[in-house]
Amino acid sequence: NSPARAFGAVGGEPLFIDRAEGAYLWDLDGNRYIDFIGSWGPMILGHAFPPVVEAIRTAAERSTSYGAPTVGESELAELIIQLVPSIQKVRLVNSGTEAAMSAIRLARGATGRDLIVKFAGNYHGHVDSLLVAAGSAAATLAVPNSPGVTAGTAKDTIVMAYNDADGLRRLFAERGEQIAAVMFEPVCGNMGVVTPTADFIDALHATKRHGSILVCDEVMTGFRLSPGGAQQRLGIEPDVTALGKIVGGGLPVGAYGGRADIMDHVLPAGPVFQAGTLSGNPLATAAGAATLAALRDNPPYERLEALSARLEAGLRGAAERSGLPFTLNRVGSMLTLFFSTEPVTAWAQASRCDTERFGRYFWAMIHRGVYLPCSQYEALFVSAAHTEQDIDETIAAAEEALSEIG
Ligand code: PLP
């Protein structure tokens, strides 16, 4: 149901998962794995986290959906507004893709402009207008990278290189008044972990002076890199933020929100259409609210930082001893070990990684009971359920795996 799980990037057959608890997955054959995917981000508190399971159970007993307003929706919305500094008003949807798609429509509706800017290697879900890639440092008119995305749709998307602050400034000097939105990952996870430079963040902020709407895609980073996401951690001030993953506590939820005057363009307050039969679903809002309340009341961020720093140090040591060329990028509990001979700051370098070596590393780790994301171009996620022992076992597995793969 999603190609990210198909093991296409590492070869072989995907494992079928039977159940999970805390930091562990079990496959159908009963093998246990230390899980560093965490459902691709949502399970920051670990699997089957008791308050989340209880919240879902309680909600389900009252009915699984009403199609009418509920207090649960307001509670989740209030938690989001409380935690994410730039969000004054928020709308709940069913996935990160929907959040990104709706944010783009809102930006176009609010500005009356067509063009959007995205960055090569950033992923915002399978929205037609965002499913385009280029890859050069210069602004290019994008070509679709999936059949079914029309050239007409793709032509309104400008693809720039991540961290190319000067390129972004030049683009806005020339065409800033035509651009509805700039969409970006504040810390990129979808080409592996890549961090923004301070200059790039300045250039992103400067785009707002042209009346363009700055849309921060925190689907992956939201509630992970700090209670208020990457924007709080890095001092980024977007107009609109897209959320997903953790906001639903493992159930299908996305959200987009931001400045009240911009959000007031969305129907029924304004004219920009967006709707959903199951948006604000009671099970989903219960799981999301239980997760965000736990993150607010017992913040795990210091522990995540310590565990992740321990993992980083151990992996660096193992990689150095293996003699293999590598680059390791980490921000908080997101980490990627790139099989790269150069620092990775944008897709240009990420695309030159040795992905075949990554595939061998992935399988060598699976055979040692560690489940990593099954592509070089993903972030590994540490959860609050991991223990120091899990981290040390992972480092020991990596030591063996890296010397084995050569
Ligand atoms: N935006 C980012 C940054 C993502 O990482 C993802 C998914 O990985 C999405 C959007 C799409 O979210 P979803 O898979 O929930 O549609």
How far, in Å, is the centroid of ligand 1 from the Cα of 99?
A: 9
* pLDDT category of residue 154 using cuts at 50, 70 and 90: confident
Residue to mutate, 131, 221, 245, 380, ligand 1, most ligand atoms under 8 Å from C-beta:
245
- Distance (Å, rounded) from C-alpha 381 to C-alpha 137? 29
Q: What pLDDT shows up at residue 4? A: 86
| pLDDT tens-digit map of 61-93 | 999 999 999 999 999 999 999 999 999 999 999
* pLDDT category of residue 245 using cuts at 50, 70 and 90: very high
Closest atom, ligand 1, to C-alpha of 125: 11
How far, in Å, is the centroid of ligand 1 from the Cα of 238?
A: 18
| pLDDT tens-digit map of 259-318 | 999 999 999 999 999 999 999 999 999 999 999 999 999 999 999 999 999 999 999 999
How far, in Å, is the centroid of ligand 1 from the Cα of 188?
A: 11
Q: What pLDDT shows up at residue 145? A: 67
Closest atom, ligand 1, to C-alpha of 2: 14
Which residue owns the Cα nearest ligand 1 atom 1?
124
Residue to mutate, 119, 220, 240, ligand 1, most ligand atoms under 8 Å from C-beta:
220
Q: What pLDDT shows up at residue 355? A: 93
Residue to mutate, 184, 219, 240, ligand 1, most ligand atoms under 8 Å from C-beta:
219
Residue to mutate, 97, 256, 334, ligand 1, most ligand atoms under 8 Å from C-beta:
97
How far, in Å, is the centroid of ligand 1 from the Cα of 300?
A: 23
Which residue owns the Cα nearest ligand 1 atom 7?
125
Q: What pLDDT shows up at residue 133? A: 61
Give yes or no for residue 111 having a pLDDT over 80: yes
Closest atom, ligand 1, to C-alpha of 98: 16
Residues annotated as catalytic (active site), given as ranges: 123, 217, 245
| pLDDT tens-digit map of 113-141 | 999 999 999 999 988 888 876 333 333 44
Q: What pLDDT shows up at residue 399? A: 98
**Mean pLDDT score, 224-249:** 98
| pLDDT tens-digit map of 31-60 | 999 999 999 999 999 999 999 999 999 999
- What is the residue-averaged pLDDT of the chain? 95
How far, in Å, is the centroid of ligand 1 from the Cα of 396?
A: 31
How far, in Å, is the centroid of ligand 1 from the Cα of 243?
A: 9
Residues in Cβ contact with 320 at an 8 Å cutoff, skipping those fewer than 6 apart: none
pLDDT above 70: percentage of residues in the chain: 97
Q: What pLDDT shows up at residue 131? A: 80
Closest atom, ligand 1, to C-alpha of 218: 3
Residues in Cβ contact with 25 at an 8 Å cutoff, skipping those fewer than 6 apart: 17, 19, 32, 33, 35, 47, 371
Q: What pLDDT shows up at residue 134? A: 34
Closest atom, ligand 1, to C-alpha of 244: 15
- Distance (Å, rounded) from C-alpha 199 to C-alpha 53? 43
How far, in Å, is the centroid of ligand 1 from the Cα of 353?
A: 23
Which residue owns the Cα nearest ligand 1 atom 9?
125
Residues with CB under 6 A from ligand 1: 40, 95-97, 100, 123-125, 185, 189-190, 217, 219-220, 244, 254
Q: What pLDDT shows up at residue 261? A: 98
Q: What pLDDT shows up at residue 143? A: 58
pLDDT above 90: percentage of residues in the chain: 91
Q: How far is CA 316 from CA 321, 335, 350, in A?
A: 9, 12, 18
